[in-house]
Amino acid sequence: MILNDKNFEQEISQAEKPVLVDFWMNNCLPCDLISPVLDELSGEFGEKLIFAKANFNDIPSVLQKFGINAAPTIVIFEKGKPIDGFIGLKEKDEFKEWLYEKLLLIEYHNYAEEKGFFLNPDKKITDNIIKGLVKKEKELGQRFCPCRRVTGEEEEDKKIICPCAYHLKEIEENGHCLCRLFVKNI
């Protein structure tokens, strides 16, 4: 998808999936270097995410609105709002992990919204919990709650796959789940 000042708002706000936007400019070596990485990642994440490009020359109003003044700038949008982003290059594996974490964050945000509670508004806490979930998934094959012990007993351990079997009761009683990923009020 190619974005410009005329179509940006509509395309981003009406997208059925999150949108990763590559804000780039002509004669920018880092932009040229990140482009093939984005092409590869679009093959891996294309079912979960829309990949879009926006040339600085075609999108000055959007650049001003979001304070973007360096290229390449990568931003993920969900329901028309920026979720997170970065400036410059990342190695493919680092970019892939960053992207996976952001998609997981969006997944849990949507889950919380559906259930009538929120993700913890403290970005540092939320990012650390997401990183912990990804680490457990890599090591143990499941996104086990980072604040609970994995026992090795399959039936018991199923209860602690995030969102765990205990989180709803904890949110109701304490205003948050044990690890504080989900909170009742913000």
What residues are labeled active site? Answer: 28, 31
Nearest 5°: the CA angle 107, 19, 13 is 95
C-alpha 160/C-alpha 67 separation (Å) is 41
Chain length of the chain: 186
Taking the CA atoms of 53, 59, 64 and 68 in sequence, report the sign of the dihedral they define: positive
DSSP string of 59-101, one letter each residue: -HHHHHHHT--SSSEEEEEETTEEEEEEES---HHHHHHHHHH
